[in-house]
Amino acid sequence: MAGCRPVRLERNDTDMTASETMREMLSAMARKGWRITEQRRTLARIFAEHEGYLSPKEVYDQMNARHPGVSLDTVYRNLRELSDMGVLEQFVMMDGGLKFRANCHVRHHHHLICLSCEKTLPLEYCPMEDRVDLPGNYKILHHRFEVYGICEDCQTNGASSAERTPET
C-alpha cells in the first residue's frame, strides 16, 4: 500500500497499488472462510486507500459515507477480527486510543508517525538488530519503537488541529 514504502525508496519501487492491497485483504478474508459482505468490501477499500492509522470512529465515519447504515459495533467486530488474523495492524496510541492500519508485512520495520495527521512513514531501522545490550536472563518477546513528529505538510499548512502531546 502507498504508506508502506520504506524511507528513501522511490515511490513505486515496492508499492502495492490500492487495488492490489484491497485484493490481498479480501483474499485473506476468503482464506479464513469469511463471507465477503458489502461492508467488508468497503472496509477493505477504506484501508487500501488510506495510508496511516484510522481510529474505529474514523473507520465508522468513512463506512457510513460510502455505505450508509453500518453500525459501530460491526465496525469494531470486523476491526478486531481483522487484526486478530493479521490483515490489519492494531496499535495503541500514546494517549491510549486504538488505531488500525493495513498491515505492511513486507518486512519487519517501525514507523514515524505524524502527530497531526497521523500518516505514517516506515523506518527500515530496527534498534533490536544489534545495538541494544540486553540482559541474558530475560526471555525477550516483543519490542516497540516509534518516532513521533510533524510531517512537512502539516508544518506548512499549520494544520495543528489534531496535534496533541502524547501523554506517556
Partner DNA sequence: TTAGATGCAAAGTCTTTGCAATTTG
Partner DNA sequence: CAAATTGCAAAGACTTTGCATCTAA
Query: Using CB under 7 A as the criterion, which residues of the chain lie in contact with DNA when the complex forms?
Result: 33-40, 55-57, 69-74, 76-78, 80, 96-98
Q: How far is the CB of 97 from DNA (least distance, A)?
A: 6
CA distances from 129 to 109, 124, 132, 136, 139 (A): 11, 11, 8, 15, 16
DSSP conformational letter for 47: H
92 binds its own copies per the rule CB under 8 A: yes
Q: 98 phi and psi, to 5 degrees?
A: -80, 145
Q: State the cell numbers at 31.
A: 482464506
Looking only at Cα atoms, what is the longest distance across the chain? 54
11 binds its own copies per the rule CB under 8 A: no
112 binds its own copies per the rule CB under 8 A: yes
148 binds, among its own copies, DNA, none (CB under 5 to 8 A by kind): its own copies
DSSP conformational letter for 74: H
Distance, C-alpha 87 to centroid of its chain: 10
Q: How far is the CB of 114 from DNA (least distance, A)?
A: 19
117 binds its own copies per the rule CB under 8 A: no
Q: How far is the CB of 153 from its own copies (least distance, A)?
A: 9
Question: Cα–Cα–Cα angle for 68, 69, 73, nearest 5°?
Answer: 125
137 binds, among its own copies, DNA, none (CB under 5 to 8 A by kind): its own copies
DSSP conformational letter for 113: E
13 binds, among DNA, its own copies, none (CB under 5 to 8 A by kind): none
Query: What is the binding site for its own copies (CB under 8 A)?
Result: 7-8, 83, 89-96, 98, 112, 114-115, 121, 123-125, 127-128, 131-135, 137-152, 155, 166-168
